[in-house]
Amino acid sequence: MSVDELPIGRRVAQWRIRRRMTQQMLADRLGKSKSWVDKVERGVRTLDRLSVLRDLAEALRVDPAVLLGDSTPPATGGGDGIDAVRAALARYDFAADERVRPPAPPVAALGQRVGHAWLTYQHAHYPQLLRMLPGLLGDAQRAHVAQSDQSAAQSDQSAAQPEQTAALLVQVYRVTSSVLVKLGEADCAWLAADRAVAVAAADPLRAAVAAIPLGQALRALDRGRLAMAATIAAAHRIAPPVPQEGPPGQLSVLGTLLLQAALAAATCGDARSVGELLDQAGEIAEQVGDGHDHHWTSFGPTTVELARVAAAVDLGDAGEAVTRHEQAVRREQWRRLPAGHRAAHLVDAARAYLLVGDLTAAGRALVEADRTAPAETRSRPVARTTITAVVRGGPAAAGVARLATTLGLT
């Protein structure tokens, strides 16, 4: 029997052994039980969902087509995961009796899960994040409702707890919106961002954090002017009189909002606003410095330079984008950025190279992006469009051709 004729479970077992992984190690990477892996390998459990197949392929560091055993690539995108997130956002709990509602999780445990969700997003493990989000959304909502009810029934001394759960819920809505933007689900992303704004209420810093995904979602919906207005208004609300005196976390959120406003201005062709906003963000970034991740922003001088590249591409100034990209990736902080952030930038760089007619460099950037964070190239519509353009532009390098074939773009 040839390798291509083997049952899929046998191929999973072969690649697991080749990667020197035990069944328990593979199970831990997938968030499954050892028994689940054993049943897959023995053929007792059928792999009938493409999202699960993609997760297995990612854990084993192979193309999904390799596990399928033929040249037919699986579809990309969020699939059932997006549907589950959409259903979670559409779920409302109107139970007045708290005894009817499922119990709320402890705030400390919830905070750990929110942190794990953000790390998953930053490393572009989107399928895993989509699996996590429905339960996380429900638990964060219940925790906030429970603490708000408790605070109302008790003294003002417990008011800090609803503030804490509100901050966590804003971050859950924010990471939900962010991944939906990545996957091309802008309408649903806008809904999640709007929920974040509603939960943030009158707290200026929470509202500023919520305005970050709102700007991203509006920009994805081609509402650049609205995105600019929302992010600039939120930025002004938290801007300290003297930037040097602001705490790093607040400055990081402020700088990130200015970056979002600049990117929104770029989609409107407003080069003057782009320059002014990026320069303001750059000054703040020098105060914050590189190597921090306040409020899950990764804000610093290097991220400002990457934003300059993305803005230049949208403004059609591909030459400047290429020059800035080649300078940015030589910065010491470049390799320390989250994998998802680096891969997303490499897609922007590929777009810039494509615009200047350098198909070879565009292909190299795409292949490097795929090695860095495969979901960035295989799930994002903009990446698929760029890959298609490179392949159709002329004879493609082997790596780009293989990537295009895997994605079913040739």
Residue 330 lies inside a defined structural domain of this protein: no
Q: Quick one: DSSP state of residue 295?
A: G
Residue 240 has pLDDT above 80, yes or no: yes
- pLDDT, position 75: 43
- pLDDT, position 149: 65
Assess whether 2 and 86 both reside in one domain. Answer: no
Confidence of residue 1 (pLDDT cuts 50, 70, 90): very low
Residue 89 lies inside a defined structural domain of this protein: yes
Assess whether 184 and 94 both reside in one domain. Answer: yes
Residue 219, SS3 per DSSP: helix
Residue-wise burial string across 348-374, b where 16 or more C-beta atoms lie within 10 A, e elsewhere: bbbbbbbbeebbebbbbbbbbbbebbb
Crossing angle of helices 50-60 and 8-18, rounded to 10°: 20
Assess whether 110 and 186 both reside in one domain. Answer: yes
Residue 104 lies inside a defined structural domain of this protein: yes
**pLDDT over 90, % of the chain:** 59
- pLDDT, position 182: 93
Over residues 134-163, mean pLDDT: 74
Residue 128 has pLDDT above 50, yes or no: yes
Residue 4 has pLDDT above 60, yes or no: no
What's the total number of domains in the chain? 2
Residue-wise burial string across 43-75, b where 16 or more C-beta atoms lie within 10 A, e elsewhere: eeeeeeebbbbbbbbbbbebbbbebbbeeebbe
Q: What pLDDT, in 10s, does the model give residues 290-334?
A: 989 999 999 999 999 999 999 999 999 999 999 999 999 999 999
Q: Which domain holds residue 170?
A: 80-221
Assess whether 176 and 55 both reside in one domain. Answer: no
Which among 308, 309, 216, 220 is positioned nearest to 260, based on CA atoms? 216
CATH code for the domain of 211: 1.25.40
Assess whether 42 and 162 both reside in one domain. Answer: no
Between CA 259 and CA 262 the distance in angstroms is: 5
- pLDDT, position 368: 96
Assess whether 196 and 110 both reside in one domain. Answer: yes
Assess whether 69 and 110 both reside in one domain. Answer: no
Q: How many CB atoms lie within 10 A of CB 175?
A: 24
Tokens (6 digits) for 252 = 């990081």
Confidence of residue 73 (pLDDT cuts 50, 70, 90): very low
Which among 405, 317, 396, 324 is positioned nearest to 364, based on CA atoms? 396
Assess whether 92 and 216 both reside in one domain. Answer: yes
- pLDDT, position 99: 59
